[in-house]
Structure 1
Amino acid sequence: MRRQGPRPVGFSLDALADRLEPPTLLAAVQRVWPRCAGHFAAHGEPVIERDGVVTIACDQATAAQELDLMSELVVERLNDALGRPAVKRLRTRATRS
């Protein structure tokens, strides 16, 4: 039997996260959000999902407006990462101004 070389810890952590996260669309979106949202990930987070509409709470009104304008691209990236067209659209809300 041939041993494989060491694997990055990230592979193990991703597998563990997949088993621990609740099987909801919101949990799946929260997991892929940092890599799909680009710079928006630093200013907003997915907080609610209902019928494929994901609400993003943004820390600034300007970030919410910019994300709203770019939402089609972000939805496409999210669905690509999820492997299915689960996210229909994003809603944004500013939690602070």
Structure 2
Amino acid sequence: MGIFAFKAKIAEIRAVGLPQPELFAVAVTIVQLGGSGLIIANIMPWLGAGALAGFLLLTIPIAHPFWKLPEPQRTFKFFLALEHLSLIGGLMVAAALGAFTGQ
């Protein structure tokens, strides 16, 4: 969910059962914008990549628990989890490059 679909983001967070979905929606938006901004601006890109990777990793058991679901939802959520792991791999590269360049 993007920043322009804030109500949809709140509804999605509410659907997974987290308390205070409005607070979580604000926190998610801050992590997404802040982490991306740090990477794009090349200001401590390792921190931005780490924040985004941590967020993505946490979403797997919270929002995509494929092991608890019947088919075909299991396969769909499994592919979403794999997509998140792929993005985490890319963010690890960004973090390593940021650390390598001394940022």
Q: TM-score over 0.5 for the alignment?
A: no
Task: Decide which structure has greater helix share.
Answer: 2
Task: Decide which structure has greater strand share.
Answer: 1
TM-score, structure 2 normalization: 0.29
TM-score, structure 1 normalization: 0.30
